[in-house]
Chain A
Amino acid sequence: MSDEAMNAVGDYRYGFHDPENATIRFDKGLSEKVVRDISKLKDEPEWMTEMRVKAYHHFVSRPMPDWGNCNMLESIDFDNVTYFLRSSNRTENDWDEVPDDIKNTFNRLGIPEAEQKWLGGVTAQYESEAVYHSIREDLEEQGVIFLDMDSGLKEHPELVKKFFGTVIPYADNKFSALNTAVWSGGSFIYVPKGVHVEMPVQAYFRINAKNMGQFERTLIIVDEGSSLHYVEGCTAPTYSTDSLHSAVVELIAMKDAKIRYSTVQNWSANVYNLVTKRGVAHENAVVEWVDGNIGSKLTMKYPAVVLKGEGAHAEVISVAYAGEGQHQDAGAKVHHLAPNTTSNILSKSISKNGGRSSYRGLLKVNPMAHGCRSKVVCDALMLDEDSRSDTYPTMEVSNSTADLEHEASVSKISGNQLFYLMSRGFSEEEAMGLIVNGFFEPFTRELPMEYAVELNKLLELEMEGSIG
């Protein structure tokens, strides 16, 4: 790996945080008034306000999911969460105008350098809204819209109204309802017909205020024959009280379009990370989720693809790392609605120090969907006896021509592998780190280089102090 890559990544992993510098901050807890106030403050169109309010009522009346980790879910105190906080009054276009302490954080994250070197555009979400936003001129010239979601709603209200909530309606689940009620920030991207965005477009999110809920909302539409790779990275400083992160991400790939959405998240150990991600793939379109989950207290996340048009393809590659006191409940869902649609799911998980990781998958094939193919591979690596790994695959197949494969494996690090590496001068911890990185490699190699470097570094750090 190059030194540049290492420098750009820096010590992003560490839980540094700036003093809260919040200009506007709502009281804790949620009510219809809070929801209306958020909308009013943002000066939103009527339809959005009404959608938020409906979503709020749905959230209140909807019971908690009865799967995942019920004990952990029940321990979320929704009254102890701040639902809106704005740390900078406007979205900055010029990096020089971003407030110093915020800039400081992002400098340590290496975002400006990263932008110059690798990225097609960067939007950095600090607290609830993007404070920094830029886009390469060539992208703009090609007609690509890349804004934070709030600006997207202001500048392109018809486009947003047409697609917002069409992939994930607020009533989809309790947390999509919560997100719809209080969303703030996130990205809005539209790629017009026939445009291939060559470089990955990237955003960072951070939770930096105590008990600060983060409810970003992302909507990406890639029009016919176009392609986009979107990358999202997350990290959070450690706090003693619980934080809630509940995002909604909607992707729409029109005919012959391709969207790849890559995420590496490293939440601090007290964050509830409850995210709904779903993409729709029209005729011959491709939707790919590349999803890495490290940290958090509880993650429940199942990137989904609805294969709506004939010949559409879904790819979901995910990894999860569950350390002490953590539960990663992750997986994938694919709905084969149209004929000759295909999907590949690869899920890899590591559990350590009593951590728990679960694969939860759903594969649905419609009666009308002839000639579908799907392959699911789940591999779990357990680093000690106290840890736990489960697989909950569900298949609902209503068409007999479907060709389905499912493989699952649970493995441990072998003594011979450790001995071999140690005989090459690796300490036991380093040897574990290398094996663990190798286990995740099919995922890591899909990432842009700086993320790959960072993920490997993170896992190596996780192995430190792990040998008794």
Chain B
Amino acid sequence: MSDAILEIKNLYVAVEDKEIIKGLDLTIRPGEIHAIMGRNGAGKSTLAHVLMGHPDFEITGGTIHYLGKSIDEYDVFERARAGMFLSFQYPPSIPGVQVGNFLKKSVNNVRDEPVKARQFRGELNAAMSKLDMDKSFLSRYVNDGFSGGEKKRLEMLQMMLLKPNLALLDETDSGLDIDALRLVAKGIRETESTTGFLVITHYQRLLDLVKPTFVHAMIDGKFVKTGGPELALKLEERGYDWLEA
């Protein structure tokens, strides 16, 4: 077996009998940052969701291996406990559940040993000050009444605390102001050097700050072109039409 964190081979995914992903290959190794760009509806979020195990999506062909094991063996929460993390494009609100409490429980879910209160507080304070988040967030309800940018910051805060092996960031940069974007980029750069990233984005501006190892252009459920950082620049400049046969 390879040293890959994630290995996807010839993947087909359907939702409600409609095929969305149509023959996709992807290998992510430790420390690599893979950017995916593509038009609305190309299937980017679908890929992220199926990797995390969303029950609405059915794998109709191909294989996904995470840390050498077939991903079918993991339930959603087991994937999280095994070090996978998804930053949601549209994080849902959980009314009545306080952010502070939710974060502590989440951290305890994925760590082998329960975190000590004092240690958790330390990590939390450090991460929040990096993201320039006010303490008052902790007593708010998860994503409830949050602005778009606040939701994305909370996703980043979770990533920093959960320290994943594989981070799937679905348009975490969308809706962020310039300052917040810088903070997010910093968050990504400062994550463990062994973490693998799948960064879904529409904009070059994030990739200016976080240099991708690979850029994949996705059209209609497939990667039609893979390249280095220069591909992102080209896509931003020329759009996707030139890639279509």
Contact = CB atoms under 8 A, between A and B. Distances in A.
A422 to B, nearest CB: 4
B81 A415 contact: no
- Which range contains the number of B residues in contact with the other chain? 20 to 34
Contacts of A417: 92, 94
A437 B52 CA distance: 25
B201 interface: no
A417 B144 CA distance: 12
A441 B99 CA distance: 13
A33 interface: no
B56 interface: yes
Interface in A410-468: 414-417, 419-428, 430-431, 434-435, 437-442
Contact of B91 (A420, A430, A437, A438): A420
Nearest to A443: B96
A428 B76 CA distance: 9
Contact of B52 (A423, A428, A434, A440): A423
A438 B96 contact: yes
A425 B94 contact: no
A368 B23 CA distance: 75
Contacts of A434: 94, 97, 102, 105
Contacts of B102: 424, 434
Interface string A86-102: 00000000000000000
A435 B55 CA distance: 19
Given A439-B96, A440-B96, A420 B88 contact: yes
Contacts of A438: 94-97, 141
Nearest to B108: A425
A424 B106 contact: yes
Contacts of A421: 94
B24 interface: no
A426 B107 CA distance: 10
Interface in B46-60: 52-56
Interface string B66-107: 000000000111011100111010011011110000100110
Contact of A441 (B53, B86, B97): B97
Q: Which of A422, A434, A435, A440 has the most CB of B within 10 A?
A: A422
Contacts of A430: 77
A419 B54 CA distance: 7
A226 B68 CA distance: 69
B158 interface: yes
Contact of A439 (B53, B92, B95): B95
Contacts of A437: 96-97
Identify whether the interface residues of A are mostly helix, strand, loop, or mixed.
helix
Interface in B167-217: none
A420 B94 contact: yes
Contact of B55 (A419, A420, A439, A440): A419
B110 interface: yes
B109 interface: yes
Nearest to B141: A438
Q: Which of A420, A424, A428, A442 has the most CB of B within 10 A?
A: A424
A420 B80 contact: no
Contacts of A420: 88, 91-92, 94
A424 B96 contact: no
B92 A422 contact: no
B44 to A, nearest CB: 17
Contact of A425 (B56, B91, B106): B106
A441 to B, nearest CB: 3
B97 A435 contact: yes
A416 B56 CA distance: 10
A423 B96 contact: no
A423 B86 CA distance: 7
Contact of B56 (A415, A428, A431, A441): A415
A149 to B, nearest CB: 36
Contacts of B88: 420, 423
Contacts of A441: 95-97, 141
B97 A425 contact: no
Nearest to A420: B92
B105 A426 contact: yes
Nearest to B82: A425
Contact of B80 (A414, A425, A442): A425
A35 to B, nearest CB: 46
21 contacts: A414-B92, A420-B94, A421-B94, A422-B77, A422-B80, A423-B52, A423-B53, A423-B77, A423-B79, A424-B109, A424-B158, A425-B77, A425-B81, A425-B109, A427-B75, A431-B77, A434-B97, A434-B102, A439-B95, A441-B95, A441-B96
Interface of B: 52-56, 75-77, 79-81, 84-86, 88, 91-92, 94-97, 102, 105-106, 109-110, 141, 158, 162
6 tightest Cβ-Cβ pairs between the two chains A and B = A425-B109, A438-B96, A441-B96, A425-B80, A422-B76, A438-B97
Interface of A: 414-417, 419-428, 430-431, 434-435, 437-442
Given A425-B110, A427-B75, A438-B96, 15 more contacts: A415-B56, A416-B92, A419-B54, A419-B76, A420-B92, A422-B75, A423-B53, A423-B76, A424-B105, A425-B77, A431-B77, A434-B105, A438-B94, A439-B96, A441-B96
